Amino acid sequence: MKKSVFQLIIIILIAFQTQAQEVLKLEEAVKIALQNNYDIQIASNNLKIDNANSSAGNAGMLPNITANIVNTNSLQNITQTQSDGTQKSLNGAKNLSLNYGVNLGWTVFDGLKMFAKREQLKVLEQQGEANLKLTIFSKISDVYTTYFDLVQQQQQLVALDSTLKLSTQRLKRAQNRFNIGKASKLEVLNAQVDLNTDSSLQLSQLNSYRNTKTHLNEIIARDSSIDFMVEAESPSEELLKLEDLKTLARKQNPQLQSQILAKKSSDLQLKQIKSGRYPTLIINSGYNINRTEASLGFITQSQGQGFTYGFSASVPIFNGFYQSRNEKIAKLQVENSAIVVKQQEETLDSQLNSTFQSYQTNLQLTNVEKNNLEIAKQNLDITLSKFKIGTITPIDYRTAQLNYVNALVRYSNAQFQTKLNEITLKELAGSLKL
């Protein structure tokens, strides 16, 4: 009797604790993950790096302007012999050379390499956006999956709580019947064993539930000790259509888009390498000031300033087949990129087909298990009524009780599996809500 009272206290405490917890909505969990998740933060910073790299200057399209100053001083012992044979000597002669100015160098033609480089940097920026989207979808998919796992575990806990209460009432009834001599000790012991079994199942499920909550806190990158509840029901969604999903996937799937952009980047890399066959033209200009001083000589001081300008040009003639080798390698890389895109498209179609088949199967299972749950609940209610008036045995009552729990677990699992398929399909189609 003391044991059953203690178990009843546990139920009450769990119920009280559940009521005191905050309810974490799915939208809120997604919002927290977008703000806090470490992988998303890293991918976001990588995109910022790509944004910074995507510039005309980084592509080599802008001139280089430098300011220079060179100051050279010396102290020397100098002896000079003039053309008439006379000699001049000076110890500690001081010499000065000072040059300073601004210079410009600008590559105005490099076989159009700079334009291909500029376009490639834009493609890499777009690829960074696709990679960020892929990371976000992956992490938000984890949030969805874990959240709905908690929903189904929470539903199972409710069922186990109800079962535990019924088992407690059954034990109390058996003890009362035993006390007045209408039941044997065996009936009491059987009721106690069943109650202990239900308590064990509830504690195991509760432990799994708490561990899953800790995991969700980890995914959304907040304190793992924060306690919460999830919404009791999964939000209903409209039925998905395979052809619509395939159309969206071709346009929006981040992984496929990343591979397509990688193929485009390989094409532009080939253009840059081919530019090595063309001449390069660089113009130079500047404004410089120079000054020299010498303690001994015909000219003791000199100063000049003015513009300088000119150009340099180079034409490749032969470089040991280095150019041909690089072009051959680049063409093979372009070919590999095209193969990867084709492979990704086929993989995507295969994933959509198999996941959609599972989605349809689990939809059917959900309907079957929902109907079975309703029947099991009716059977439990009728059996409980008959058990109270003593027209059926405890074994029959226990069977109905287990049938109801098992039906609820199967229904909950079918709902969860359907949700998992739905999340995967939307992730593949690039239409997962953020």
- Residue 236: the pLDDT is 63
Long-range contacts from 362-368, C-beta under 8 angstroms, 24+ separation: 362/414, 362/417, 362/418, 362/421, 363/239, 363/418, 365/414, 365/417, 365/418, 366/411, 366/414, 366/415, 366/418, 368/414
Question: How far is residue 21's CA from residue 161's CA, in Å, rounded to a whole number?
Answer: 17
Q: Say if residues 341 and 263 touch (Cβ distance below 8 Å).
A: yes
Q: What is the DSSP pairing of strand 301-314 with strand 87-109?
A: unpaired
The tokens of 174 are what? 């058996």
Q: Is residue 3's pLDDT more than 50? A: no
Nearest partner of 172 among 22, 375, 8, judged by Cα: 8
User: pLDDT over 90 for what percent of the chain?
Assistant: 71
Would you place residue 178 in the very low, low, confident or very high pLDDT band (cuts 50, 70, 90)?
confident
Question: How far is residue 130's CA from residue 147's CA, in Å, rounded to a whole number?
Answer: 25
**Mean pLDDT, rounded, of the chain:** 89
- Residue 76: the pLDDT is 80
Give pLDDT tens digits for 5-55: 444 444 444 454 544 568 999 999 999 999 999 999 999 999 999 999 999
Q: Which amino acid, 428?
A: L
Give pLDDT tens digits for 102-160: 999 999 999 999 999 999 999 999 999 999 999 999 999 999 999 999 999 998 998 89
Question: How far is residue 201's CA from residue 395's CA, in Å, rounded to a whole number?
Answer: 19
Helix (H, G, I), strand (E, B) or coil at 153: helix
- Residue 221: the pLDDT is 93
Nearest partner of 425 among 260, 239, 149, judged by Cα: 239
Q: Is residue 263's pLDDT more than 90? A: yes
Give pLDDT tens digits for 179-219: 888 878 998 999 999 999 999 999 999 999 999 999 999 99
Q: Is residue 325's pLDDT more than 50? A: yes
- Rounded to two decimals, the pTM is 0.81
The tokens of 271 are what? 């253009």
